[in-house]
């Protein structure tokens, strides 16, 4: 392991775009090798296969691999002792434990060793070096994720330090999710670097940007870039935040990571995937053809040699090495996979393939809608947070609402179902009945435009949500220091 680790620090030109022609064959060979090694060396996986009558199954092709039983957090990770999930049953062979965020339930522990972070570091390299030019620009990396046992902040810190150790001029600072400290650091030393990169969850990062503006901070002075994770956001949101940062090119100023505590960073936005998503935001008809829905998922590219994706019944499975390696693991995310050639053919046929796409690596795409249980069901229609966000992110509301909200279905005195929408105001905004009506109208207008179920299933008299305007940081709906949830059930 240490020999492998030492190779990572050999200074060489960045490689994420140098994808060999044999990537697909190489990825499939490594996938089959991972399965055989897990069957031999991971006690829990041997037991799992035995219990599913697959202990002696012959796996010599991708077709064979697809017959292996699917793992989930419930039937695999939580079903066996933690050491048994590790290579050779050795928990002490891992040097760090990560904890899931708990956004979908009880936190879960995931062990890893330093070499298991290298694939994730390569995803960060693709964003920071290929997207933001961090190989030639001194970069202050500001970790705005919560720090501690939670995975986001510590994984980001580790990946950035690996890249700095590789020789890139990246300097790390870790204020965590403390807005005042973030602003203090950026104001004090941001000007000493060619650029500043903020890492965090989208609504929190926007809070920081808004707070800086409120204090008279000129973000454009620091050439700020964003690395985001955890949530789907609209292209209107991306455009608005970039405007506030003084960045005119969102494709080289923002990037979203598709990551989990289970497997680190699985995929990431690239300038190409952002260009595609921005183009599709103007063409919901084509988005529906491509993704099956008019709403936009997160659209990333991935290296199948690092994490191998499959799609079963509309849900994403991935396989990959780690402290607790995983094979055909269902993370309960809805989405799909589109091969690079397939994406290119579709977009060229519709006049949307970017002219500079040939500069990008021919990596496959993965799109992610998120967990299905993040939607609320209303009159049989699935209403998603992304649908509501568009209505709140219109320019006329930019100086009044933070972008955070909570959507829920309640019952009125007559036990009729109603939508309730609690909206967080900015500190300087004043709640009023007029603002509530304007937000209500905007949300409904955009829901009808992008959500055909809402437009066709929900009676006109029941469409208007009850809009409640709440102060910044309301403890019941918008508490500080925790990952925000946009729906309640």
**pTM for the model:** 0.80
- Please say whether the beta carbons of 275 and 354 come within 8 A: yes
For residue 271, what is the enclosing H or E element? helix 271-281
Alpha-carbon span 125 to 114, nearest angstrom? 16
Alpha-carbon span 107 to 241, nearest angstrom? 31
* Tokens 């609504």 -> residue: 203
Instruction: Locate all alpha helices (DSSP H) within 363-473, ordered by sequence.
Output: 385-392, 433-450, 452-457
pLDDT of residue 373: 56
- Say whether 324 sits in a helix, a strand or coil: coil
**Alpha-carbon torsion, ordered 394, 400, 401, 402, to 10 deg:** 110
H helix count then E strand count, the chain: 15, 19
pLDDT of residue 456: 79
CA-based nearest residue to 257, from 402, 119, 74: 119
Architecture of domain 114-374: 3-Layer(aba) Sandwich (3.40)
Pairing mode, strands 170-173 and 109-112: unpaired
CA angle 262/81/155 to nearest 5° reads 25
Q: 431: number of CA atoms within 13 Å, CB side?
A: 10
Q: What is the pLDDT along the chain (489 residues), one digit of tens a residue?
A: 334 444 444 433 344 444 444 578 889 999 999 999 999 999 999 999 999 999 999 999 999 999 999 999 899 999 999 999 999 999 999 999 887 654 333 567 899 999 888 999 999 999 999 999 999 999 999 999 888 777 788 889 999 999 999 999 999 999 998 899 999 999 999 999 999 999 998 878 888 998 999 999 999 999 999 999 877 788 988 999 999 999 999 999 999 999 887 888 999 999 999 999 999 999 989 999 999 987 789 999 999 999 999 999 999 999 999 999 999 999 888 899 999 999 999 999 999 999 887 777 789 999 998 765 577 878 767 788 888 999 999 999 989 999 999 999 888 776 678 999 999 999 999 999 999 999 999 999 999 988 877 887 788 988 999 999 999 999 999 998 777 889 987
Residues in the chain: 489
Alpha-carbon span 100 to 366, nearest angstrom? 22
- Please say whether the beta carbons of 134 and 168 come within 8 A: yes
pLDDT of residue 104: 38
Q: Range(s) for CATH 3.30.300.30 in the chain? A: 376-488
- Please say whether the beta carbons of 91 and 83 come within 8 A: yes
Q: Is the dihedral of CA 261, 147, 125, 356 positive or negative?
A: positive
DSSP string, 354-367: -TTGGGS----EEE
Helix, strand, coil percentages for the chain (3-state, nearest 5):
40, 25, 35
Burial of 445 per CB tally in 10 Å (0-12, 13-18, 19+): middle
Q: Which pair of structure tokens corresponds to residue 82?
A: 């933690």
Architecture of domain 376-488: 2-Layer Sandwich (3.30)
For residue 160, what is the enclosing H or E element? helix 151-166
Alpha-carbon span 388 to 292, nearest angstrom? 19
Compute CA 271 distance to the chain's CA centroid, rounded to the nearest angstrom. Answer: 16
């Amino acid at each position: 392991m240490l020999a492998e680790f030492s190779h990572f620090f050999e200074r060489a030109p960045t490689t994420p775009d140098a994808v060999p022609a044999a990537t697909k064959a190489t990825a499939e060979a490594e996938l089959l090798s991972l399965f055989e090694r897990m069957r031999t060396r991971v006690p829990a996986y041997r037991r799992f296969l035995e219990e599913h009558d697959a202990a002696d199954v012959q796996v010599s092709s991708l077709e064979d691999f697809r017959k292996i039983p699917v793992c989930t957090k419930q039937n695999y990770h939580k079903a066996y002792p933690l050491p048994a999930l590790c290579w050779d049953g050795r928990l002490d062979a891992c040097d760090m434990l990560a904890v899931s965020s708990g956004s979908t339930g009880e936190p879960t522990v995931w062990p890893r060793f330093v070499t298991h972070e290298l694939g994730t570091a390569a995803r960060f390299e693709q964003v920071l070096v290929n997207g933001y030019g961090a190989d030639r620009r001194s970069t202050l990396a500001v970790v705005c994720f919560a720090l501690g046992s939670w995975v986001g902040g510590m994984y980001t810190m580790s990946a950035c330090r690996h890249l700095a150790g590789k020789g890139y001029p990246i300097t790390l600072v870790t204020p965590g999710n403390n807005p005042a400290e973030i602003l203090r650091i950026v104001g004090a030393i941001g000007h000493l670097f060619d650029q500043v990169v903020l890492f965090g969850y989208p609504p929190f990062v926007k809070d920081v940007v808004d707070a800086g503006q409120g204090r008279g901070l000129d973000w454009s002075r620091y050439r700020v870039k964003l690395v985001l994770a955890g949530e789907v956001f609209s292209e209107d949101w991306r455009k608005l935040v970039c405007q506030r940062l003084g960045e005119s090119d969102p494709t080289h100023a923002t990037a979203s990571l598709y990551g989990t505590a289970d497997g680190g960073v699985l995929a990431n936005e690239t300038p190409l995937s952002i260009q595609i998503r921005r183009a599709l935001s103007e063409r919901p008809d084509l988005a529906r053809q491509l993704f099956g829905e008019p709403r936009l998922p997160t659209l990333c590219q991935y290296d199948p040699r690092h994490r191998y994706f499959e799609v079963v019944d509309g849900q994403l499975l991935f396989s990959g090495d780690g402290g607790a390696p995983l094979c055909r693991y269902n993370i309960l995310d809805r989405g799909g996979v589109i091969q690079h050639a397939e994406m290119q053919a579709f977009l060229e046929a519709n006049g949307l393939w970017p002219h500079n796409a040939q500069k990008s690596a021919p990596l496959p795409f993965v799109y992610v809608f998120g967990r299905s249980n993040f939607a609320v069901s209303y009159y049989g229609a699935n209403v998603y947070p992304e649908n509501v966000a568009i209505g709140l992110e219109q320019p006329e509301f930019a100086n009044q609402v933070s972008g955070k909200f909570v959507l829920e279905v309640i019952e009125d005195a007559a036990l009729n179902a109603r939508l309730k929408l609690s909206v967080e105001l900015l500190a300087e905004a004043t709640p009023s009945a007029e603002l509530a009506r304007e937000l209500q109208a905007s949300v409904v207008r955009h829901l009808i435009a992008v959500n055909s179920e809402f437009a066709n299933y929900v009676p006109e008299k029941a469409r208007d949500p009850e809009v409640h305007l709440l102060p910044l940081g309301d403890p019941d709906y918008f508490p500080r220091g925790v990952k925000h949830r946009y729906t309640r059930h």
